[in-house]
A and B are shown apart, each in its own frame.
Chain A
Amino acid sequence: GAVVSQHPSRVICKSGTSVKIECRSLDFQATTMFWYRQFPKKSLMLMATSNEGSKATYEQGVEKDKFLINHASLTLSTLTVTSAHPEDSSFYICSGTKREGLHNEQFFGPGTRLTVL
């Protein structure tokens, strides 16, 4: 397998502030990283696809100016929630893609719980 970490694991912030979440692949280089959002008792919804050195590709309905993604290296991607509001409160999960045999496998981080007051 492979290990993906996220920092912080949980964060509480005031409405209007910005929050940065880090996603690191600890023992492999992730060709691609993905960011998901999960509301309580719901499924994971893909927000964006992130490739090192290029702009992220956002899914329909996800505001790229609100959710800034920076993929600085093959082991680090960051998601910044700008001007956060209570409706942005959610569980944010990242994943990194690694070649396993003939296929690419996604390894998921432990998630970051964001609460906006």
Chain B
Amino acid sequence: GQQLNQSPQSMFIQEGEDVSMNCTSSSIFNTWLWYKQDPGEGPVLLIALYKAGELTSNGRLTAQFGITRKDSFLNISASIPSDVGIYFCAGQLHTDKLIFGTGTRLQVFP
């Protein structure tokens, strides 16, 4: 099935550092979403973006919907140990169906 490309694939950072990851697609989407998945759990929604160019924050997280509607990025500022997990972007077109990205695995060292 179709997947979105996420980069980087994995990140190993020190606590307190900022993190940036992005997601690209060959096709446009109407909605971009960012999820976090902890081991053995389902994904949890972090941020939803509904308009091209939109920049939205949720605490230390900031995400933007690319102006071309084919990409999105997620920034995490001042990382903490509980930020560890896998981050997925997801795109949505006209229906409620989600296409997930390949994931970025984040490891935070104290």
Contacts and interface: CB of A to CB of B under 8 A. Distances in A.
Interface residues of A, number: 25
Interface of A: 4, 32, 34, 42-46, 49, 59-61, 91, 93, 95, 97, 103-106, 108-111, 113
Contacts of B98: 34, 46, 106
Main secondary structure of the interface of B (DSSP, over half): loop
Interface string B17-45: 00000000000000100000000111111
25 contacts: A4-B42, A34-B96, A34-B98, A43-B88, A43-B103, A45-B1, A46-B1, A46-B97, A46-B98, A46-B99, A46-B100, A49-B96, A59-B1, A91-B40, A93-B42, A93-B43, A97-B96, A105-B48, A106-B96, A110-B40, A110-B41, A110-B42, A111-B40, A111-B41, A113-B40
Contacts of B42: 4, 93, 95, 108-111
Main secondary structure of the interface of A (DSSP, over half): strand
